[in-house]
Every structure is written in C-alpha cells, then in structure tokens.
Structure 1
Amino acid sequence: MISSDSMMPEGFARLFAQKKLTAAVFLPVEVNGHVGMYLCFCESEKKKKWENADVKFINDVKRIIQTILTKRITKNSLASSYASLEAILENVGCAIYVRDPQTGHILYANEKYQKFFKKTLEELPLSPVSLQDATETKNGLFREIYSEKENRWFDCYSTHIQWVDGRKVTLCTIYDVTDKKLYQQKIEKQANNDFLTGLYNRMRCEQDLQHFVEDTHESGGEGALLYIDLDDFKHINDGLGHQYGDILLKNISSGLKQIPGVNDNCYRMGGDEFIILISHKVYPNLHNIIDRIKAEFARPWRLKGTEYYCTMSMGVVRFPTDGDTVEELIKKADIAMYDAKCAGKNRVAYYDENVISTSFKRLDLEKNMRNATRNAFDEFEVYYQPITDISKPGMPCSGAEALIRWNSRELGVISPTEFIPLAEYLGLINPIGSFILREACMRCKYWNDMGHPDYKVNVNLSVVQLLQNDIVEQIAEVISETGIDPKNLTLEVTESLAINDMNRMKKILADIKKLGVRVALDDFGTGYSSLNHIREMPIDVIKIDRCFIIDIGKDDFSNAFVKMVAELASAIDVNVCVEGVETKEQLDILMGSKIQLIQGFYFGRPMTAREFEEKYL
C-alpha cells in the first residue's frame, strides 16, 4: 500500500489512508528558494502505475506553476516596493523630478516639486530648471538659481540614472534654500553696511575701491575719491544729544545717495566721515558732483523743530594720478581733507604732493597733543593778558584774560592758531578747556586773596564745551573746588556761536548767570551781527573785535561802529571791552567814548602767571 511507503511523510500517509487514496505523486513547489506548497496528483479508485511520461508531465506542470507563482510574488513585491519608494519620495524635504533628456518630458515629479512651482505634473514645463553654467561636482551638476516669480532661492543638483525601462534619464533634486540665503544676505549686509545709515562701510569701501582702481587702469581713464568730514558735528552731537546726531547722519547719507553720480558709491567710514568713489565713467562730471555735494551742505538741517547748519570739509584724490593702492589713496585723501579744515573748514582741497611735509607735521602734532593731554597737561601753560579799566582814575588793571600756550618737549612752542583747530578735530578741546578753566579760577582766587578782591579772570568757552549737556554743572564744580567768587569769573562766548541757536544759547547762558558768573560776548561785529542780539542775550560785557580798532580814527565806519555799540551798551547797562589796542592814539580816541575796558599790547601782551603777578600784584 502507498500508505505504508517508508519515504512518505507521516502527515501524507494519514491523509492518504483517510481519503482512501491508492496512488499519488507529490512534488514541492519552491519560490525564492523556499517551499511554498506541494503539488499532488492522486488516484483513489484503482491502483496506478506511474509511467515516465506521467512523471515528466507532472514535473512540467510543477515548473509552470512555480514560474507563475514566482512572477506574481515578484510583481506584488515590486509594487509594494514602488509604493514604499514613492511614499518616501513624496515625504522628503526636497523637490525631485526625473526627465527624459531625449524628449524633454518629465517622467516623474514629487509633490514637493509641484508645490515649489505651483503646477501639476501635466502643467509643468519641459525645462523647469535650467542647469546651464552649472558647477560640476563628483556627484553630478550643481547650480544655485533664483525664481523671480516665486521670489525664492533653490539649490539644484542633477545626475544621470537608469530608468525602470532601462533608458538613461536625468534625476534632479531641488532644495529650497531661501531662508538660508536671506540669513546669509543679512550677515553679508551686516558685514558690508553701516548699521545706522545703511551706507556701505569701510570694509566694503576698500573692496570697491580696489575694483575701481583696476577698472580705471584697464580703461585708461581716471577716477576720484572724495573724503568728507563734517565740520563741528560734535557740537550738534553733544549739544542736542546723540539721538539727533544720528538723525542728522541719516539725513546727510540719504541726501548724498540721491546725487547723480554718487548713488550707491557712498560709504560711511565711521563717526562723521564719509567717502564717495567716482568711477572713470562719471569722472568727467567730477566738478558738477562736488558742486552738488557742496549745495547739499549749504542748506539747513531741521532738528528738534529748529534749523541747524552743518558744513563739511572735503579732500579729493585722483587715481591713478595721485596713487593706485587703497591704503595710499585713503591716506592722501585724509591729508587733503585736513588741509581743507585748516584752511577754514567748509572747503574742498585737492591732494597736493607739496603738502606732504605739512601733513607729517600734523601727525606729529596729533601724537604729541594726545600725549600732552594724557600727562596731566604738563606741557600746557595758561598765560594772562591784562585788562585795564579806563573808566576809573589811574586806569587800573581789573584782571586778565586766560589764554592757553603749548610748549611741546619734542616740537617746541606751538601757536594756538595751529593746535586749537587740531584739538577740536581730535575731540581734545573739552579736556583742554576744563584745564584752562580750573587753572584760571585757582589763579584768580589767589589774586583776590593777595589784596585784589576785584580782579576778574576771563575764560573762553569753545562751542564744543558750551554745548555739553552738563556744562553748567562743570562750571559750578570748578567754582566750588577753587573757591573763587563767581562774580570774578567771566566766561566769553563768540558772537557766531551765540546766534547759531539763539533759544538754546539764551537758556544755557541764563543758567550760567544763575551761578553768579558774568558772561561776555566776544568778537562782536565779526559775525552776522544784529543789535537785537545785545538785547536778547543775557550778557554783562560786549567785546569789540580788534578789526574795528586797527583803523579807528582813520575809518569813518570803524569810528561809527565803536561809538554806536558803546552808546547802546551804556543804555542797557552792559560794559564794553575793546580788544587789540596797541597805540596811544587808539587809546585817546576810545577814552572819549562810553567804554570801560581795554585789552591790547599797549597795556600788556599775554604773559605767564608769574610775570603778571610781578607786575600787577
């Protein structure tokens, strides 16, 4: 019996006995190397003798079934794999598409790609991303592109792969890098742009200047560099506060950028310094551009509801005429700009090789002045020029004006006309002014204690000092420290300074007078004089400038001016001091007018404290 065949597995033997099978052939059907099922041919009615032809037929059927099953399983597995792969591709963070390079048709595009370009697969163009001029990498081609329509940046990569049907296709992956690009642009802007004004900064200026020089050299033309420094910007910054100084800088920057030929070639070098680069293309309009810049600074700037004037000094260098390196051109432009300041500010100076020695002297002055101010002002000394009261019998000395002198250990005696503008430019006038004020008050207190209680000392206040927010507190502190009687201190302010901001100046001077200090209006008649200033300003003394005294007695205008001021001052109980009296003839003419005080070489030149005390104590 077949059921007793020792080769038959036990399970099959039981099945055959149960079904009363008389003969059977069973073959394992393998799929992918594993038995998936058994193929059985059975006989239950009669005994069966299997022939070779039967066995061959059975094996052929097995092979057919095995082949069909293998293909179906493989197909199902591939479908499952494709579904998994597509799910992965649809959920990656980049856009992916496959393109037939022969026909240009897109064979596949994931959902991210369609979202990037807001089109369905059927609507996508044949060449949505051009990889022309792409960079070749070890993994294929790369190109950064900007979609103006989408206003987005993309990094695009492409490589060749074999498609499912065996043909070669192009696989492209696209990454949206807009956020990264915007962040990079922000960092680059911070590195290249001035935070306050939005102009390019020093670093960008030096880079662009190098390109300008190279382009000019290649073209055979000429370019220019304009170095601008604002005149007395510190006065506005200290007087109105840094907030309004910043507003002024932004307004100036905006105005400069709008000048044809300047545009984006304007740079803030720091503080109140600007550079404008003139390319060889617009160089023929150089003089027109400079005139437009000068006109920009000729108009007033409105701050805190009031109009203020802020002029500029400009140095001009040409390249390659004056130099062809970045460092050289900026240095020479700075030299020319400083020469413009020394010539009286509000000027334009072209670089001149002949002024190099002067500029090196300026550098020495700067170095030595900084050292002198750091070393307790030991190289500075206060001189005193006597002031005589001609309204009293015997014309006694009534005090002196304090004047600063600098005797440098390395450079010798330096004229005030040379070092005071430099001190203002370097921002050292405040500490120097404070030194003069303290020294003068200490000396006057000594005179008062030595038997001259009515001696007074006059101290000049620079515009920078006067516009400090705490100037009144500083003066009060010096008075307290030195013990001087406030009425014996006279602070001199220039007429041009006083009228620049009349309302602010009246308040500052009124606060100073509350300390008991006297105020003198210096250089009267040399500025935009208005007799109304005498009425409005809280002053005690008017000082008539020496230019009206030189020709007094010979010039009708000088005679009339001095007489008019003296008469008006007398009517409002203000004293008059005349400067620059050098001859007896001048003194005799003034004696007949309502003038109280005289100052000039006729009575005494500026002298040391010791010389003054030997003569007048």
Structure 2
Amino acid sequence: MKAVMIFPILKQESGNMVLSLNHRRQGHVWSMAEIKFTSDAVKILQSILTRRIQKNSLAGSYAALEEILDNVGCAIYVTDQNTGRMLFANQILKNTFAKELMDHNFDALLQSSIHKDKTRTVSVVYHAEKETWYDLLCKEIAWVDGKKANLYSLYDITDKKLYQRRIEQQAYTDFLTGLYNRMCCERDLARQIDQAKKIGGKGALLYLDLDDFKHINDGLGHQYGDVLLKSISHALKRINGIENTCYRMGGDEFVIIIPPDSYPRFGNIVEDIKKIFSKPWFLKDADYYCTMSMGIVTFPDAGDSVTDLIKKADIAMYEAKKTGKNRVETYREGNDSVSGRRLDMEKNMRDATVEGYREFEVYYQPIIDIQGGKDVCAGAEALIRWNSAKLGFISPAEFIPLAEYLGLINPIGNYVLTEACTRCKHWNDTGYPDYKVNVNLSVVQLLQPDIVETVEKALADTGLSPKNLTLEVTESLAINDMDRMKEILNRIKALGVSLALDDFGTGYSSLNHIREIPIDVIKVDQSFVKDLAGDAYSQSFIKMVAELAQTIGVSVCVEGIETPEQFKVLQGMKVKYIQGYYFDRPMERHAFEAKYVK
C-alpha cells in the first residue's frame, strides 16, 4: 500500500472494528477535506452500528428475561404504568388465568384486591370460582426498554389457607358435639352485633342449660350423657335459621345466636327448640326425658357488648331455673336477684382462690365411736366453709356446685386436704395418736389423673400417718365407671389410706357394688335418720346395713343424729360411728380443739 488512513469504529471483546482507506498504486497525501469527510462518515457508521448492536442486545435480553420468568415458581404479570397495556405474562399466569385473560377481566380481578394503601405491597386474591387464594405482590419497575411498568407476582397459597381453615376449625369446634365452641361464639356474636347496628336490625342470644343432666350421667354413665349431648347438638343444627350459629359453651350449656337476617323467624325458632326437648331420648334401650331452661336477650337494644350479652342471657336462664326449670325467660333489667348473686359469687370465688384461700375455712365435726359402751371422739370430718369478705358467709350447697362448674374444686379440695392432714398430725402429736380425719373427694377431684399423687404428696408434706386419713367418696360416683373407680380407689388404698362410702342409700348402686369397692366405712345418709325414732323402715334399713357391713368387715357410720330418741334406737345395733348435732355441729378449728384436743 502506498497511502493509508485508519479510523477506529468500535472496540468489542471479540475484537476491534476499524475503517481503513488506502492507495495501492501510488502515493497520496490526504487533504483535510478528505480527513474530515471520512471522520464524519465514521461517526455516522458508529451511530448505525451502535443502534444495531443495542437492538440485538435488547432482543437477547428480553428473550433471556422471558426464559427466566417462565421458570420461576409464581405467576408474573407486567403492565405499562401509563397505558395499562400488558407488556408481559409468563407461562404460569397464562395457564392459570387463561379464561380471565381471554375474557379481558384479569386486570379487574387484580385491581379488586390491591390495597389502596401504597405502603402495603402484599394483598390476597381470592378466586371464588376456583376456590383458590393467591398472595399478590405489586412493585413499580423499569421494563427492559426503559418504560415505567407495574410488576405483579401471584403466589398460590391455597394449601396454606386450607390448612389454616382446618386449624381454625379445630380451635373453634367442640370435639364431642361438633358444634362451635365458646371462643367462636364470642367472635361470631361480635360480628352479628355489628351487622345489626349497621342495617338497623335486631338479633337474639339464647342461653340453654339442660335440667338435671347430672342424673343422666350418674344413672346411666358418662358415655350415655355424651350420646345425649351429641343428639341434642344434631337436632339444634337442623333448625331453620340457626344451622351455623349453635355453640356448646361447656358441660351441658348451649348458646344459639339468631342473626338479624333470621330474626323474623324468632318465635318459630324458640318453638322449634322447645319441641326438641318435649320428646324423650332413646338411651340404653329405654326412653329418657331431658328438659332445658332457656334465657333470652336481644341485641343491640339490650347491649352491644359480647360479655354483657352473654352475662344477661345467663342471668335470664338462671331465672328460668329458679322458677321451676323447663322454662324460657327473657332478660329484663333488674331480674338479677339469685342469678346476679351467682355471678357475684363466681367473681369473688375466683378472687378468693387467687388470693391464697384466706376466705375459706375448714370446720371439723366430731365423729363419735359408740361401740364398747363409751361414747368417745374418734376424730373429725373436715368440711369446707366460705366466709366471703364481700358476700358474707355462703352455704356449701351454694358454692361447692359452682366451684365444680368453674373448675376450682380441685385447688380448693387440695387446700382442704392439706389443712385437714396438718391438723390431724397436730392432734396425733399432742396426745391423740388414734384420731382420724375424714376428707370428702368430689367427683371432679377423683377423676383427676394425678389424684393418687396428690393424696400421697399431702401425706408426705404434713407427715400424717396414712392410717389416720379417711377419704370419703359418694355412692353415685362409684357406679359410672366401675373398672376405673376400682383401679383409682385401690391405688389410694395401697397408700394405707382408709375409704368411706358417703351418702349410702341415696344413689343408684346395688349392694353388690359394696363388695367391688375397697371401702372401710359405710356412711348411711341422714335422710334415713329423720324419722328414725318412729319409722320401722329406717330402723330396719340401718340394721340391715350394719349387719351386712359386719359380714364383709367394714364399719358403719350414721350421719344426722340430732335427738336422744334417734341415738337410743341405734344403741344395740352394730353401728360403730355417729355424727350429728346430738353431739356437735361442725365447728371452727379452735373450738373443736378446745373441746376434743385438750
């Protein structure tokens, strides 16, 4: 070459691009005009090549991006921020929402779920037709060509939602009956109150309690009580208007919410419920009747607080109980008498147990040994009393059933057991080594899985000899689940503790049960003593029980002896122990010790 002029155009990884002009035959001196013209041409060529390269690069980038987004685990949708036009949809979105895209209503589905609050970037899309849920994430981005765009990511969370539903179902459902529980009732009642206020409507809350349900449990066994509860639950759910608003509050109590949209059928619903309980239930090859007492309160006119409404319905229900059971009462301001007292008792009892049982006192009634010609004290029965700081002295007949209902009988019973063992240990150490103390065990206590350990701990903590502790169980308790009772009582007996069968003659047990239960003492109920002085049947009954007890090697204690005439009848019978006002009423500890622990 005779003359050369070279201009660089592009520099790339694969090599450099240059423009070369040359003369091969003869030399040449390049003029400024030639140089300038060529330089301008190079600039134009650089611009053309750059645009071509950028176009190719953009196409390649878009293809790569499309490949990536088609293989992520969620649906991707990109729209132009200014026009709303779709810029991209990955394959998952096209497959999942093909019908919506074809019908041009996919954008409407998204917009209906997006939060107006821009600070919240995650929404939930529910597709009713498919019954599927999606987490929706929305973000502003710059698209591959530089346009402002909206990026939507949809993650299928249907399995998660269905799992949450199952967990909620378990949390809000009563295991035995399948009805909703108290927690669900409170949640739904709040919603129905808001709905009634919103539409200016009215709803009602019905509180039901089965009358004398304990008789079914005691007489037939808990398994048949459970059958009855399930049968009642199924019957309630079949009533038109309340199919999904029936709740079991616990035990034998039910609540029904009549929503505002069902309130026009209020009268019919109440009548339908009453009809359910007007017919017998077939249990254990026979028909049994079980009635109910119902309290009614309406909302929002009677209140808009969930707690207050349930309380008022409960008060109305107890008014129905008080006036004879098998009745329906509507709450009225001021009708809180006995029912209101019960609610006050509930609050104060909870406070009393939390504050160390200071308001509870253990009284002692002497048990007199009348065999051998000498009437001597053999010990005492420990009896719980409640002297409330706010309500005054409350009868055990009032507060013990409430304690069982509230689940407080276990801590109260444990307190009595420990106190009684402590006092008896003191009596044994101060000159009365043979004194025994009797402590009553309720049904609820005896069915606790750790009852044996509880008794063992009380003996260990107080140092009382097991032979000086007698635990009393009721007759009706023993027949519900004989195998279980025998197992529990035999374990208690193995500790060296004595067992007494209380209230004998009033329950449902047969004489054969006396042989099955490992008892040491039969306590004849005081109902047989009332007319003992002149009633041949009562005399014969006690005599028969005493002779039977002697045959099987147990002792007899007769409760409720109040007069000399009653006491005289028992002399000569094979009765070992006596309790009753004839000797002494239940006394405070210091009074008992002043008289019997000298």
TM-score for the superposition, normalised by structure 2: 0.68
Give the letter for the 2:269 counterpart. Answer: N
After alignment, is 530-539 or 500-509 more displaced?
Answer: 500-509
Structure 1 residues 563 and 232: alpha-carbon distance in aligned structure 2, compared to 1, 3 A threshold = same
Q: What's the counterpart of residue 461 of structure 1?
A: 441
- For the structure 1 residues 313 and 508, does the alpha-carbon distance in structure 2 shift closer, same or farther, using more than 3 Å as the test? farther
Native 8 Å contact 1:255 1:296 kept in 2 = no
Which residue pairs with 2:43 in the alignment? 34
Q: 1:89, 1:96 within 8 Å by CA — same for their partners in 2?
A: no
For 2:154, the equivalent position in structure 1 comes to: 176
Stretches of structure 1 lacking an aligned partner (at least 5 in a row):
4-10, 20-24, 38-68, 100-104, 165-170, 237-247, 301-310
Task: Check 1:312–1:391 CA distance in 2 against 1; reply closer, same or farther (3 A cut).
Answer: farther
Whole-angstrom CA distance in 2 between matches of 1:278 and 1:296: 26
Change (3 A) 1:108 1:445: closer
List per-residue Cα deviations over 1:297-320 (Å, max 9, x = no partner).
9979xxxxxxxxxx9998653334
1:507 offset after TM fit, Å? 1.9
Instruction: Give the percent of matched residue pairs that are identical in Structure 1 and Structure 2.
Output: 47
Equivalence for 2:237: 259
Quick one: distance in 2 between partners of 1:96 and 1:445? 81
Where does residue 478 of structure 2 map in the other structure? 498
Aligned residues: 528
Other structure's SS at 2:336 match: helix
Any idea what the Cα deviations from partners look like across 1:150-180, whole Å, max 9, x if unmatched?
A: 95648599x9xxxx9xxxxxx997643313x
Q: Residue 208 of structure 2 contacts residue 292 of structure 2 at CA under 8 Å; is this kept in 1? A: no
| Contact 1:459–1:492 under 8 Å retained in 2 | yes
Is 1:407 matched with 2:392?
no
CA-CA distance at 1:406 after TM superposition: 3.0
* Mapping of residues 201-212 of structure 1, within 5 Å: 205-212=185-192
Change (3 A) 1:189 1:200: farther
Q: TM (normalized to structure 1)?
A: 0.66
Q: Give, in whole Å, the separation in 2 of the partners of 1:555 and 1:433.
A: 36
State the secondary structure of the residue aligned to 1:384.
strand
Structure 1 distance, partners of 2:436, 2:325, is 34
Give the structure 1 partner of residue 287 of structure 2. Answer: none
Q: Is the 8 A contact 2:320 2:327 kept in 1?
A: yes
Letter in 2 for 1:385: Q
The residue that corresponds to 1:575 in the other structure is 555
Letter in 2 for 1:212: Q
Matches of 1:257 and 1:77, distance apart in 2: 76
- How far apart are residue 434 of structure 1 and its match? 2.9
SS of alignment partner, residue 582 of structure 2: coil
Per-residue deviation, 1:355: 4.5
**Deviations, residues 114-165 of structure 1 (Å, cap 9, x unaligned):** 443579xxx98454737279449799xx9946274595648599x9xxxx9x
> By how many angstroms is 1:188 displaced?
8.4
- Residue 322 to residue 521, structure 1, CA distance change in 2 (3 Å): farther
Give the Cα–Cα distance (whole angstroms) in 1 for the partners of residues 101 and 356 of structure 2. Answer: 79
Is the 8 Å Cα contact of residues 494 and 521 (structure 1) preserved in structure 2?
Answer: yes
How far is 1:87 from its partner? 4.8
Q: Select the residue among 171, 179, 195 that pairs with 1:194.
A: 171
> For the Cα contact (< 8 Å) 2:125–2:133, is it kept in 1?
no
- Tell me how far 1:566 sits from its aligned partner: 2.7
Does the CA contact (< 8 Å) of 1:487 and 1:517 recur in 2?
Answer: yes
Question: Cα gap change, 1:383/1:178 in structure 2, threshold over 3 Å: closer, same or farther?
Answer: same
Distance 2:258 2:105 in 1: 42
Instruction: Tell me the residue number matched to 1:388.
Output: 368
Q: Please say if residues 211 and 292 of structure 2, whose CA atoms lie closer than 8 Å, have aligned partners that are also in contact.
A: yes
Matched with 1:224 is 205
Q: Give the Cα separation in 1 of the matches to 2:124 and 2:354.
A: 59
* 1:73 Cα deviation from its structure 2 partner: 10
CA 1:312–1:440 in structure 2 vs 1: closer, same or farther (change >3 Å)?
farther
Where do residues 539-558 of structure 1 align in structure 2 (5 Å cutoff)?
539-552=519-532, 557-558=537-538
Structure 2 residue 65 is matched with structure 1 residue 88:
yes
Alignment of 1:350-499 (within 5 A): 351=331, 353-358=333-338, 361-362=341-342, 364-366=344-346, 368-370=348-350, 372-373=352-353, 376-499=356-479
Question: Which residue identity is paired with 2:43?
Answer: H
Letter in 2 for 1:34: K
Deviations along 1:350-377, one digit per CA (max 9) or x if unpaired, are 6554443545544554555455445554
CA distance in 2, matches of 1:205, 1:74: 69
Aligned-residue Cα RMSD (Å) equals 5.5
Name the residue aligned to 2:223.
Answer: none
Radius of gyration: which is bigger? 1
Q: Is the 8 A contact 1:317 1:333 kept in 2?
A: yes
Equivalent residue for 1:564, pick from 533, 544, 548: 544
